[in-house]
Structures are given as structure tokens and as C-alpha cells.
Amino acid sequence: MRVFAGLPLPERTRETIAAWMNTWEAERKALKPVQPTGLHVTLHFFGEVDEGGAEEIGKALAAIRRNRIEAALGGLSHFPRRGKTRVFAIDFDTGGEEIASLYNGLMRSLGDIGYAPVGRPFVPHITVARVRRGAAVPVLPSFEPNRGTRLTLDRLVLFQSILKPTGAEYHPLTTVPFDQ
């Protein structure tokens, strides 16, 4: 099964982002938007693991203790930073340092069971769409009216990602609530 560790967004935050995504019209043909119910912050993508591997990862996640993260949405960004854009994302005005700290703790915990960090710096963000292969990169409407929207990240989740023609579906396998 395909799994990743992530931070689910509060419903109101997903609704705010979804309302902005609904303003995309001509741009939509060039994009594969993330389903609003699937909006989250990815901390680490593991790829294919068996049931035993998912259980071991879940135990490593359960050992992490942390307080809730108070954050504020930032502006629209993209990846890679140089070259042709492949992913559109929303970054964080505040809370990014705390998310990065959580990532570093997670990677230390996962290192104990044989998982290594990815080979690029971790940048906290919420992926909102991927550019379709061969499509011209569209210009998206401004996200600025939503910048500063406050949110609380209150749990760490190991998700199973099930790929479907309508977009990926995410199912929680292990949930680790954060302290107050």
C-alpha cells in the first residue's frame, strides 16, 4: 500500500482553499487539482510498504509528542522553484518553523527504523494542484485575500493513498493527536 505521514487541515481551512480553487476556470484544464477533502501538509511520503511496514511506521509516529501547531496560511507558491512549474502549493506565513521542527523529529524517529530523509530541503506547504504533463503552466487567481487565514494543526496521521481516476483518496491508518 502507498502511505505517507501528514497533517490534515481543519475543515474550515479546507473550505477556504476549496472556495478559492472553485474560481479556477480556464486554468482547470491544465491542472490536476487536489480534492478538497484531501488537502493536507505532507511530511514524508514512504511509497509502497506492506502491512507490517505500515504498522512499524505507525508505531514510530505514535512515539512523537508535540503540542498543537498554530499557523497562518501564506501565499501561492510552486515547485520546483526553478524551471517549469509542476506543483502549485500554499505556503505558511506562520507555523512553518514548527512544522519543520515536527518534520525533523519525525525523520529522527523514522531513522531508527531505517527511513532516510528525502534528498531535498523540507518546505512546509499544502499542495493544491499538479500541472498536467505537456500542459502550459497556467496563471492562477490570487490567493492573497485568504493570506493570513489562521488554522490549528492538531494531529499527525499515517495515511494510505489510493490512486483513482478522479484523484487520490486518503484513508487514515494511524492518528496521533497533539497535546493542547
Q: In this structure, what DSSP letter does residue 131 have?
A: E
Where residue 64 sits, what CATH number does that domain have?
3.90.1140.10
Domains contained in the chain, number: 1
Q: How many other CB atoms are there within 10 angstroms of residue 125's CB atom?
A: 20
152: three-class secondary structure by DSSP: strand
pLDDT along the chain (180 residues), means of 10: 97 97 89 94 95 95 93 95 92 97 92 82 95 93 96 97 88 94
Q: Evaluate whether residue 23 is within a structural domain.
A: yes
pTM summary value: 0.94
Quick one: cell of 128?
Answer: 493544491
Strands 69-79 and 40-48: unpaired
Please report, as a single letter, which amino acid is at residue 50: D
Q: How many other CB atoms are there within 10 angstroms of residue 177's CB atom?
A: 11
* Containing structural domain, residue 26: 2-175
Q: Evaluate whether residue 44 is within a structural domain.
A: yes
Q: Evaluate whether residue 180 is within a structural domain.
A: no
17: three-class secondary structure by DSSP: helix
